[in-house]
């Protein structure tokens, strides 16, 4: 395994984590916009509150790893797609700031609205750029770019709905939990119908498609059987395998673009040492807020006092 392989593996791991955690936060923003029910919105705010900033750091990780390990690729992709990427990062600004503003100033009605809209804009732009890069296309406005944007946004929405079922239940809100289950079933079916023909049209010939389809179908079955924790795993697998399939299709040969091994050695050592702190901390963060004393329904919006 060359340094380039390890670096690419790390970047894909980071992207997968960003999609599975950060992506779900964007999807939650979409449901926050779509569902006008205050109870649903409270579940979303409660679930995202302590986690979204840590989830966001995966993106920074991917960006930094890309420019360190494959500088020409980073320079090329970022400058060629500067318009959608600038929109995405402004969406990140709007999403993050309006999320905390809305909590601190609940009377201002346009914060939640902006939060929802930017939560849709950001994954759309990032997904369209990723698809254009993977398919070797030119513009995010092309058919492939549009398709990739819509698909990514839908994947995020699906993941969020799946995760939120359990979050709502944890907060003791059975009706909200059932509504999120409904959202998950609808968006899951929609994503499946969107992803499979798309993969065929783009000429993806990868066993990962089968993995994605199988775990997607299994997720639907688990949703119907109300296995809300195991469906998180299978839904995550279904979504992540779409990303890996896209990376597979891109067939990136990055050896020529790779940084000098000496530059990467330091990064790998730093990440290895950092992981010793980060992995337990992250695990603690998730466990603390998944297993901690769930607040009784109705006071969810007050957390963080």
Restricting to residues 242-271, which ones interact with another protein according to CB under 8 A?
A: 256-257, 259-260, 262-264, 266-267, 270-271
> H/E element holding 54?
helix 52-69
6 near another protein (CB under 8 A): no
Minimum CB distance to another protein smaller for 69 or for 199 = 69
Minimum CB distance to another protein smaller for 77 or for 214 = 77
Residue 235's Cβ-count burial label (10 Å; 0-12, 13-18, 19+) is buried
> Nearest 5°: phi and psi at 205?
-120, 80
Q: Which among 83-91, 179-187, 197-205, 208-216 is the span making contact with another protein, rule CB under 8 A?
A: 83-91
Minimum CB distance to another protein smaller for 17 or for 238 = 17
Which residue, among 83, 86, 92, 140, has the nearest Cα to 114 in the 3D structure? Answer: 92
CB of 265 to another protein, least distance (A): 8
CB of 193 to another protein, least distance (A): 33
Runs of H (alpha helix) within the chain: 3-17, 23-34, 38-48, 52-69, 71-80, 82-104, 110-135, 143-170, 174-201, 207-224, 230-250, 261-291
Minimum CB distance to another protein smaller for 213 or for 257 = 257
**Long-range contacts (CB closer than 8 Å, 24 or more residues apart) made by 104-107:** 106/301
284 near another protein (CB under 8 A): yes
60 near another protein (CB under 8 A): yes
Minimum CB distance to another protein smaller for 93 or for 143 = 93
For another protein (CB under 8 A), the number of binding residues is 71
76 near another protein (CB under 8 A): yes
65 near another protein (CB under 8 A): yes
51 near another protein (CB under 8 A): yes
71 near another protein (CB under 8 A): yes
Distance, CA of 209 to CA of 206 (rounded, Å): 6
Distance, CA of 136 to CA of 203 (rounded, Å): 13
CB of 79 to another protein, least distance (A): 4
Minimum CB distance to another protein smaller for 175 or for 284 = 284
| Cα distance from N-terminal residue to C-terminal residue, the chain | 49
Minimum CB distance to another protein smaller for 84 or for 236 = 84
50 near another protein (CB under 8 A): yes
Distance, CA of 224 to CA of 16 (rounded, Å): 26
Q: Which of residues 87-126 bind another protein (CB under 8 A)?
A: 88-90, 92-101, 104-105, 111
Residues comprising the chain, all counted = 305
Q: Which among 23-31, 35-43, 64-72, 146-154 is the span making contact with another protein, rule CB under 8 A?
A: 64-72
How distant, in Å, are the alpha carbons of 20, 93, 128 from that of 87?
21, 10, 12
CB of 168 to another protein, least distance (A): 18
Distance, CA of 28 to CA of 45 (rounded, Å): 9
178 near another protein (CB under 8 A): no
Q: How many CB atoms lie within 10 A of CB 95?
A: 24
67 near another protein (CB under 8 A): yes
CB of 32 to another protein, least distance (A): 17
Distance, CA of 226 to CA of 238 (rounded, Å): 18
193 near another protein (CB under 8 A): no
Distance, CA of 68 to CA of 256 (rounded, Å): 14
CA angle, residues 71, 55, 218, in degrees to nearest 5: 105
């Amino acid at each position: 395994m060359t340094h380039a392989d390890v670096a690419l593996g790390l970047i894909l791991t980071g992207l997968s984590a960003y999609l599975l955690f950060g992506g779900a936060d964007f999807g939650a923003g979409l449901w926050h916009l779509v569902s006008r029910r205050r109870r649903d919105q409270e579940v979303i705010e409660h679930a995202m509150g302590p986690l979204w900033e840590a989830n966001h750091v995966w993106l920074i990780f991917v960006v930094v790893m890309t420019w360190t390990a494959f500088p020409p690729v980073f320079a090329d992709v970022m400058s060629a797609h500067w318009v959608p990427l600038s929109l995405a990062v402004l969406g990140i600004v709007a999403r993050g700031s309006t999320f905390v503003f809305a909590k601190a100033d609940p009377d201002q009605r346009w914060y939640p609205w902006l939060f929802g809209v930017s939560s849709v804009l950001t994954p759309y732009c990032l997904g369209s750029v990723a698809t254009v890069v993977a398919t070797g296309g030119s513009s995010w406005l092309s058919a492939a770019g549009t398709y990739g944007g819509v698909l990514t946004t839908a994947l995020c929405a699906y993941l969020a709905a799946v995760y939120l079922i359990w979050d709502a239940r944890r907060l003791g809100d059975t009706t909200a939990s059932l509504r999120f289950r409904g959202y998950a079933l609808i968006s899951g079916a929609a994503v499946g119908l969107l992803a499979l023909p798309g993969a065929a049209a783009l000429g993806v010939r990868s066993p990962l498609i089968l993995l994605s389809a199988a775990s997607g179908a299994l997720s639907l079955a688990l949703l119907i059987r109300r296995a809300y924790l195991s469906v998180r795993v299978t839904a995550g697998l279904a979504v992540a395998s779409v990303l890996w399939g896209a990376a597979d299709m891109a067939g990136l040969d990055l050896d020529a673009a790779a940084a000098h091994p000496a530059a990467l050695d330091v990064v790998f050592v730093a990440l290895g040492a950092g992981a010793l702190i980060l992995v337990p901390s992250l695990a603690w963060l998730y466990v603390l807020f998944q297993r901690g004393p769930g607040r009784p329904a109705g006071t969810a919006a007050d957390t963080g006092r």
